[in-house]
Amino acid sequence: MTYSPSLTQSETVRAVALFSGGLDSILAVQVVRLQGIDVLGVTFETPFFSARKAREAARQIDLPLRVVDFADEHLEMVKAPRYGYGRNMNPCIDCHALMLRKAGEIMEETGAALILTGEVLGQRPMSQGKQSLYVVAKNSGYLDRVVRPLSALLLPETAPEREGMIDRERLLAIQGRGRKIQMQMAADMGITRYEAPAGGCLLTDAMFSRRLRDLFSHIPGCTVRDAEMLKYGRHFRIDERIKAVVGRNHRDNLAIERTAGDGYTLIRMAGHPGPLTALSPGWNEEGLRMAASLCVLYSDAPKDRPVAVSIRTGTTTRSLEIAAASPDEAARRLV
């Protein structure tokens, strides 16, 4: 069924904007606002990217913003994307289609007439070619409602343009990787604070992607919490079932403890400064001893003799005397 908003002649047109907080999404919103269209920003949160940048940019331009946590659904998509991955574990086409589908649901919920994005034709080779833009919109289920204001004149006309809800002649024809036009537009509009376009998604990071592949290969049914844990510490593969995460600093230690919850076993040094180590569920005694020895290796304890560590599983605590793992052993197990 094709969505068709019903508007009276005097009613203000409303739009839902995919809003990352980057310059292109800011400009797309402002270009549409110049036509008197009310815009609601929508941004997303998962373990792989946050809404921080979008929140800051929305405040700067006084944009109402809805933050959608779709971590569970997004993780299942990342495990098996229909259109595959980019250079690392970034399934950009499937990810953007999922975001557009969620934005489309909000469009229907709010009675808005269109979805807008800050995508620029040809800016990113995998996800912003003409065919990719078409595939993304088609797979969202809202093909004819997706308007890309910065490149609209280079793309097929959409229903909101044909229906007169948005004036196509006041949209733009930007393409390619250059940023001069956007930067000049920002200056003309008085937009002075915006972040560089790169970064923000951990799925494009090579080291994080290596950890994620390891997680998927060993625990196909992994959860959002398992994915969240990949962001912190050093990760060591103990055996086919279990992994140890060793904090690198105080901030890591706090994040690991917060993320681990009740399922992980937590290992701490008993008498020396050192990292928090989290051991995933399903361990045996040999695996526990290996994780404890890694905790000692990265602590300030002497490395030439066994030292005490404290081990907590749920409400049960025990002590263990163990020597540090060798650096070679740690390197062999590092994910």
For residues 118 and 236, state if they share a domain.
no
Give how many domains the chain has, as a whole number: 2
Q: What is the mean pLDDT of residues 16-35?
A: 97
pLDDT at position 195 is 76
For residues 155 and 262, state if they share a domain.
no
Does residue 215 lie in a domain region? no
How far, in Å, CA of 213 to CA of 325, rounded?
Answer: 25
For residues 75 and 148, state if they share a domain.
yes
Q: What is the mean pLDDT of residues 248-266?
A: 94
CA distances from 198 to 23, 24, 88, 195 (A): 11, 12, 15, 9
How far, in Å, CA of 138 to CA of 303, rounded?
Answer: 59
Q: What is the mean pLDDT of residues 61-83?
A: 98
pLDDT in tens, 141-154: 999 999 999 999 99
Say whether pLDDT at 1 is over 70: no
Does residue 1 lie in a domain region? no
Q: Band the pLDDT of 197: cuts 50, 70, 90.
A: low
Q: What is the mean pLDDT of residues 252-260?
A: 96
- Out of 45-49, 105-109, 120-124, 136-140, which region has the weakest mean confidence (pLDDT)? 120-124
Does residue 44 lie in a domain region? yes
How far, in Å, CA of 313 to CA of 86, rounded?
Answer: 39
pLDDT at position 116 is 98
For residues 25 and 117, state if they share a domain.
yes
How far, in Å, CA of 225 to CA of 246, rounded?
Answer: 16
Q: Which of 73, 76, 58, 48 is nearest to 18 (CA)?
A: 58
pLDDT in tens, 126-142: 678 899 999 999 999 99
168 and 161 Cβ atoms separated by less than 8 Å: yes
For residues 145 and 287, state if they share a domain.
no
pLDDT at position 7 is 74
Say whether pLDDT at 261 is over 90: no
Does residue 195 lie in a domain region? no
CA distances from 23 to 145, 180, 191, 325 (A): 22, 12, 9, 48
Which domain, by its residues, includes 182?
A: 14-189
For residues 272 and 171, state if they share a domain.
no
How far, in Å, CA of 293 to CA of 65, rounded?
Answer: 47
Residue 171: give its domain's CATH number.
3.40.50.620
Q: Band the pLDDT of 174: cuts 50, 70, 90.
A: very high
For residues 103 and 165, state if they share a domain.
yes
For residues 172 and 320, state if they share a domain.
no
pLDDT at position 316 is 94
Token digits of residue 64: 């109402």
pLDDT at position 189 is 93
pLDDT at position 3 is 84
What's the whole-number average pLDDT of the chain?
Answer: 95
- The last residue of a domain, from among 128, 163, 189: 189
Q: Band the pLDDT of 190: cuts 50, 70, 90.
A: very high
pLDDT at position 161 is 97
Question: 84-88: long-range contacts (C-beta < 8 A, 24 or more apart)?
Answer: 86/126, 86/127, 86/204, 87/204, 88/203, 88/204, 88/205, 88/206, 88/208, 88/209
% of the chain residues with pLDDT over 90: 89
pLDDT at position 11 is 83
